[in-house]
Amino acid sequence: MIRGWTILAAALLLGGGALLYLGVARTLQVPSMQVPCVNPVAGCLLLEQGLRIRFDRRPQPMRPFRLRVEVASARALHASFAMRDMQMGLNRYRLLADGDGAWTGEIILPVCVHGRSDWIMTLDVDGRLYQLPFSSG
């Protein structure tokens, strides 16, 4: 009986540790900054943060588009995509350093079964979160 409880406690500790390691708990608690951006294809600039975000074309479900982020200094960039009040599965992309402070990634948005096109991109720059709402075609 004690052995069973020990195994259960160890499993719970490992599960909790895995969640912390993956950053789920941190991501849920870190406040994010809204990025005002009318047209991500033309590009969006946050001067104070030294951040420029650009899509190479208007995003459409199931069609790849390239995300480019320019930032003065960063160790890691990730972008995730969801809809307001609706998770769209695991859509987290690791952007790759392109040189000279540029990071890029090829993104494919899933199809929303409800026909919605109102997306929110959350950009994680070394733990600082930026949210950019946009619409897909």
* Residue 27: per-residue pLDDT: 46
Is pLDDT of 29 > 60?
no
- Delimit the domains of the chain by residue range: 1-30, 32-135
> Which tens digits make up the pLDDT trace of 80-100?
999 988 888 888 999 999 888
* Residue 44: per-residue pLDDT: 94
Distance CA 46, CA 36 (A): 9
Is pLDDT of 5 > 70?
no
* Residue 95: per-residue pLDDT: 98
* Residue 87: per-residue pLDDT: 81
Architecture of the 32-135 domain: Sandwich (2.60)
pLDDT band at 109 (very low <50, low <70, confident <90, very high): very high
Distance CA 14, CA 34 (A): 34
**Global model pTM greater than 0.95:** no
* Dihedral sign for Cα atoms in the order 82, 42, 78, 93: positive
